[in-house]
Structure 1
Amino acid sequence: MDGNRRGWGPCLLSGAVFAVCMAGTTLPTPLYPLYQEKFGFSELTVTVVYAVYAFGVIGVLLLTGNVSDTVGRRPVLLAGLGCAAASAVCFLLAGGLGALYAGRLLSGFSAGLFTGAATAYVMDLAPRGGSSRATFVATAANMGGLGCGPLLAGVLAEYASWPLYLPFAVHLVLVAASAVALMWLPETVREPRPPRTVRPQRPGLPRRVRPVFVPAAIASFAGFALFGVFTSVSPAFLAESLDVHDHAVSGAVVALAFFASTAGQLAVGRVGVGRSLPFGCAVLFAGLALLAGALRWDLLALVVLSAVVGGFGQGLAFRGALSAVAGASPAEQRAAVISTLFVVAYAGISVPVIGVGLLTVPLGLEGAGLVFIACMAVLVTVAAGYLLRRPVPARA
C-alpha cells in the first residue's frame, strides 16, 4: 500500500493500539490500596509488585529489542497483546500475591515488546513526509496510554461495581479489538524472516558516546525513578496522609504526570535538543522539590503541582537525552546504545522503588519519600552541573 494513498488512518490506528497496550501497564496503579486491604500486604510489597514490571521490560529489551526488524512488526505486536491479555487474566483471577507478581511480569513483557516495535510501526505507516507528525503520534500514544490506565481504573473503581475486576475486563475487550485492528493493518517489514533467525541484541556504549551518555543516563534514571515512586506509592500517600480515598482522584493525579511528560517531550522541538536536557533537569529538580513539600506539609495542591512539573521535566529531559544519545551514536550501533539508555531508565523505575519500600518500615512513607527525593535531587544536580561544563551539541 502506497504511503501517500493510505493517508493517516493506519498510522493513527496503530497509535491507538499502542495506547491500549501501554494503558494496561498502569491500570493497577490506583487499585493497590484495595489489593493491600484484600490480601493484607505491606507498602514494601506494593513497591516490589510494581518493580517486577520493570524487570520484565528490561529482560525483553535486552533479549528481543530488535526482533521486529527480523520477523515483522505485526507478529511482535500480537505477542505483546497476548502478554497484555494474559496479564489482565492474572489480575481478574488473582487470589493472592503470586497472581499479582505474574500479572505485573507479563505486563512488563507486553511493554517491552511494544516499546520499540510499535514506535517503528507508527513511523512505518505514516504517509511520506510525515515523520514529524508520526513522532508526535507515537509519543502521545506511549505516554498518553500510560496516563489513561490509572485514569480509567480509578474512575471505574470509584463509580462502578467490581473495582478489582471491571477495569481488567474492559481492558481485555480493548485488547481484543486491538488484535482485530492489527490483523487489518499491513505488515511494513519487507521479507520478514522466521523467528529462529533472531539473535539477542547486546547493549553497547562506544567510547565517543560516553560523554553524552553519562548525563543523559543520570537524568533518565532520576526521571523514571520519580515516575516509579509516584505511581507506586502516591495512592497510599493520598489515602494515609491526605485522607483522599477517592480512586478516581488518585488515578487522575498519576495520569497528570504522564500527560505532562507527553507535553514535555513535545516541547523539545521548541526548546531544542541542546537546551532541553539541562532545562529538563532544572524542571525535574523543581518537581522533586514540590513533591518534598507535599510530603512534608501534607498538601494535595503540591502533589498535583509536583505531578505536572515533575512530569514535564521528565519528558523534556528524557526526549532530550534520547535525541542526544541517538545523534552521538554511530548508525550501526544506534539501536544498541538506545537500548542501553532504556535499560538504565527502567532500572530507575525498579531499584529506587524497592528502596523506598524498604525505608517505609523504619521511616514511614513520608520519611522514605523524603530520603528518595534527596537522593534523586543529588543525581539531577550532578547531571545538570556536568551539562553546564560540557553542553550537549545542538546538532545531536
Structure 2
Amino acid sequence: MTSSPLLAQQSHGRIRRANVGFWLIAGTYGIVMMGGTLPIPLYRFWAQAMHFGALGTTAIFAVYAFGVLVSLLVFASLSDQLGRRPVLIGALVVLGISTVLFLGASTLTGLLVARFVFGLAAGVVTATANAALAELARPDRPQAAPVMSTVANMGGLGLGSIAAGAVARFFGDPTHEVFWWYLIALGIAVLAVVVVPETVTRQAGFRLDVRRPSLPEGADRRMFLGVLGLVLAAFTVNGVFSSLVPSFVQNQLHIEDSLASSALVSIVFFAALLAQVMPRPQWLNGPFAGPTVLVIGSVVFEAGLLAGSLLEFILGTVIAGAGVGLVFGRGIGITQHLADPERRADLVATYFLAAYLGSTMPTLGLGVLNQTLGTTGSTLILFGVIVGVTIISTALTARRTSRS
C-alpha cells in the first residue's frame, strides 16, 4: 500500500515528461521546416549576384526535395534502430553544417550542395519527428499527433519565408544575416531534443541500406496508396507555389518588396495550418472534403494567373492551402494509424516520400516547360495533372472507406 502513491507519482512524472517532450519535438520540427523555405525570398538576390535564371532557381528548390527523397530511402528508418533522440541530434548537426555552407556559398554549385545537404538532414527529421510525436502524444488524444505534425510542418514552412523576407527587407545583408539567426535556432533545437524522453529501445546494431517504400499489409494497402496519391498532389501544389510565386509576384504583379513577396508565398502554408487548427464541421474530416477544396483552389489560382488578378491569385492560394492542410492532416493520421509500432518511422517515411516526390518532379517539369510554353501553358498542364491524380486517389480512399 505504501508504494501506490510513489507509483502514481512516477506515472504522473512520466506523463508530464512525455507532454513536455511532445511540444519540444513539435517546436524542433517547426524550426527544421522553416529552413525549407528560408531561401525562397533570397532567390532573386542570388540570381543577380551569381547570374543564373529561372531554371537555376528551380534546380535549387528541386535539389532540396531530392535530398529529402534520398534521405527517406536510405536514412529514415535509423531512428527505429538507434532511437529518436540521437538521430534527431545528429540530423540537427548536419543542418548546421548545411547552414554554414549557405553562408560560404558564392556560386550556384555552392547553393546546390548546401541545399542538398539540408534536404538529407530534413528527411531524417521529418520521419523521426513524426514518429516521436505519435509516441509522445497522450493516448486519450489520438488526433494530437497528426494535427501537431501539420501545424509544425506548414507553420514552419510559412514562417521560414516570412522570416527571410523580413531580414531581406530590413537588414543590409539578406543572403547571410538570416542564416546566422537560423544557426542560433538550430542550437536551441539541439538543447530541446537533449531533454526529450526516448521512446525507442536502442538495438545492438543497425543496418543501413536503400529501402523499398513500405506499405501496409492486406486490405489497407489500397487505401494507403490513395493517401500517397493525395499527398503527392497536395505537395505538388506546395512546390508550384514555392517555385512560381516569387517570379509571378515580381514579373506580373510588379511587387518588388521582399517582405510582401514572401508573405504571399506563405499564404498557402498558413492556410493549410488554419484548416487544421480552426474548428470545422465533421464533414471536412471525410475523404472528399480535402481533395475537393484542393481542386477548387487550384482552379481559382490558375484563373488568377491567366487574368493577372491579385485578388483571384490570393483567393486561390487560400483555398488551395486549406485543401493541402486537410489532405495532409487526414493522410498523416491514417499513416500513423496503419503503421506498425515497431517500424513507425518506416511507414511515415513512405508517406513523406510521396509528398516530396510531389514537390520535386512536377516542379522540375514546370521549370523546363516554362522555358518553352511560358507560365500559362506550363501551369495549365501541371494543374491538369494535379486534378487527375487527386480524383483517382480520392476514388481509392473513398472505396476503401466505404468497405470499412
Query: TM > 0.5 between the two?
Result: yes
Return closer, same or farther for 1:132/1:387 CA change in 2, 3 Å cut-off: closer
Give the aligned partner of residue 293 of structure 2. Answer: 283
- Cross-structure match for 1:260: 271
Alignment correspondent of 2:380: 370
In structure 2, what is the equivalent of residue 348 of structure 1?
358
Tell me if 1:225 matches 2:236: yes
Q: CA deviation at 1:348?
A: 0.8
Query: In the TM superposition, what is the alpha-carbon distance from 1:170 to its structure 2 partner?
Result: 0.7
Contact kept, 8 Å, 1:268 with 1:319, in 2: the verdict is no
Q: Counterparts of 1:22-171 in structure 2 under 5 Å?
A: 22-126=33-137, 129-171=140-182
CA–CA separation in structure 2 for the residues paired with 1:332 and 1:122:
15
Name 2:224's counterpart in structure 1. 213
Deviation at 1:339, TM superposition (A): 3.2
| Distance change >3 Å, CA 325–CA 174, structure 1 → 2 | closer
Q: Which residue of 1 aligns with 2:331?
A: 321
1:296-342 superposed Cα distances (whole Å, 9 cap, x missing partner): 01122222222211111012123323444555677777755443332
Alignment of 1:321-340 (within 5 A): 321-324=331-334, 327=337, 336-340=346-350
Partner of 2:370: 360
CA distance in 1, matches of 2:210, 2:324: 29
Q: Is the 8 A contact 1:14 1:121 kept in 2?
A: yes
Distance in 1, Cα, partners of 2:236 & 2:155: 18
Q: Look up the equivalent residue of 2:296 and give its one-letter code.
A: A
Contact 1:217 1:344 in 2 (8 A): yes
Task: Provide the TM-score with structure 2 as the length reference.
Answer: 0.87
In structure 1, C-alpha distance between the alignment counterparts of 2:341 and 2:209, rounded to whole Å: 19
TM-score with structure 1 length normalisation? 0.89
Q: Is the 8 A contact 1:222 1:380 kept in 2?
A: yes
Q: How many residues align?
A: 392
Deviations along 1:217-276, one digit per CA (max 9) or x if unpaired, are 322211111101110121011001110111111211222211222233457985368x53
**Within 2, Cα distance between the matches of 1:360 and 1:260?**
27
Decide which moves more: 322-331 or 137-146: 322-331
Measure the CA separation in 2 of the matches of 1:84 and 1:115: 13
Cα shift readout 1:59-110 (whole Å, capped 9, x = no counterpart): 1111222211221212111122112212211211111111111111112112
Residues 13, 394 of structure 1: alpha-carbon distance in 2 compared, 3 angstrom cutoff: farther
Q: Which residue does 2:314 correspond to in 1?
A: 304
- Structure-1 separation of matches of 2:107 and 2:218: 47
Q: CA RMSD in A?
A: 2.7
Deviation at 1:201, TM superposition (A): 4.2
1:293 alignment counterpart: 303
Shift of 1:280: 0.9
Could you say if the C-alpha distance between residues 3 and 132 of structure 1 is closer, same or farther in structure 2, counting changes exceeding 3 Å?
Answer: farther
**Paired residue secondary structure (2:377):** helix
Distance of 1:215 and 1:135 partners within structure 2: 18
Summarize the Cα distance change of 1:193–1:269 in structure 2 as closer, same or farther, 3 Å threshold: farther
State the match for 2:7 in structure 1.
Answer: none
| Segment drifting more, 329-338 vs 166-175 | 329-338
State the identity %.
31
Q: Which position in structure 1 is the counterpart of 2:4?
A: none
* Aligned counterpart for 2:20 among listed residues 9, 18, 24: 9
In 2, the alpha carbon distance for the partners of 1:353 and 1:82 equals 29
Q: Aligned equivalents of 1:56 and 1:331: distance in 2?
A: 26
Other structure's SS at 1:161 match? coil
Q: 5+ residue gaps in structure 1?
A: none
In 2, Cα distance between equivalents of 1:256 and 1:135:
21
C-alpha displacement at 1:351, in angstroms?
Answer: 0.4
What residue is the counterpart of 2:401 in the other structure? Answer: 392
Q: Does the alignment pair 1:382 with 2:392?
A: yes
Judged with a 3 Å threshold, the aligned counterparts in structure 2 of structure 1 residues 6 and 316 are, in CA distance, closer, same or farther, namely: same
2:34–2:159: 8 Å Cα contact kept in structure 1? yes
Cα distance change on mapping 1:393 and 1:146 into 2, 3 Å: farther
Q: Which stretches in structure 2 are left out of the alignment for 5+ residues?
A: 1-9
Closer/same/farther in 2, CA of residues 134 and 337 from structure 1, 3 Å limit: closer
